[in-house]
Structure 1
Amino acid sequence: MTEYWVSQGNKWCDFCKIYISNNPLSIRTHELGQRHKDNVTKKIATMRKESAAKEKEQKEAARALKEIEAKAKRSYQKDLASFERADTSTALEPNKKSADEAQCSAATRNENRAAPKSKGGSVPGLVISTSLNPTRVVKGAPSSIAVNKRKRDDGKAKAISKEESEALKAREAARKRMEEREKQFMGLYRSY
């Protein structure tokens, strides 16, 4: 059987960024050389500096998060106190409240009473069950903001050509078809 010659190849030194012959004598000679030793010490020093900088950055981030949490907690307590003051002042002057304000404050009081109890007592703060996004369409009903946003300021009707009116009718028909098609996906993923 014929044997083929196979090259030993070269070995890459990560510290020195060079290739050396891949045999034990060349590798040992290179690793005992001053240039390689200097490059290893430089690499170790840069690794120490990077880890120290990273550790310092993590400590700074943790400190910043603690400050933010403390400020948020102070702001929350301040908001609770101002809400309590407003609630007690409106309870003393019921004639000055509008119907909406009375209904809203009654609803929030009822929600607070129905709030689940935690291990340490009641849950602090208000529990809001209404939607936070007033422009969001809920079960196909557009909000008053979405309905009123296309009104003209001057109140004058714009002259519409025949093609444009046909296009508007087609668009409205397409919108209705789309609503019918996606009615099942409007927050109701299971059948009742």
Structure 2
Amino acid sequence: CLKKSWNFTRARSVIVYNDTAAKAILGLKFGGRKAALKTFEKFKQQCRPCRDLVAPDSIIPFPLHRNRLRRRGFNQSLLLAMAFYPGEKKKIMKTALQRRRDTVPQTGLDGLSRRKNMRDAFLVKRETDVYGKKIVLVDDVFTTGTTVNECARALKQAGAAQVDVLTLARVAKNI
């Protein structure tokens, strides 16, 4: 078994990804059911492990490629960032991190294919100032960590001092 080297400092998830979580997340992601965000916000407030995340200088939602954003109409990670940090909306950097290319969805890919799919897929916008900042990257699901690790790599290359990851759910085999 290979030991992973992470580009982020720590990753925390609010809930475990199970059938109930999957239904709620997929309802948000593909059904536009945004009413669940209030529940997710309450779960985050009760999440003890989430309390050891840094007090962020910036909060960055996981980016969707513009084609996927156009099809979906919203970025669920941005909605989660706003729900998880309701008093910190000014710290949310909506477009700081971008996708270089429209990658295929990670669902169903094995670990190696996931890493190849995400390699160099993200960039930090040139005018974005992340240098020396403590950042929390927000996403919906942590499966293998490949996608958030690549995002963290791009942020660290742009000078971020620390990147923590906060996801709504985490696949149980990776806890």
State the TM-score, normalized to the length of structure 2. Answer: 0.19
Q: Pick the structure with more strand per residue.
A: 2
Rg larger for: 1
The structure, 1 or 2, with the larger RCO (C-alpha pairs under 8 Å, 6+ apart) is 2
State the TM-score, normalized to the length of structure 1. Answer: 0.18
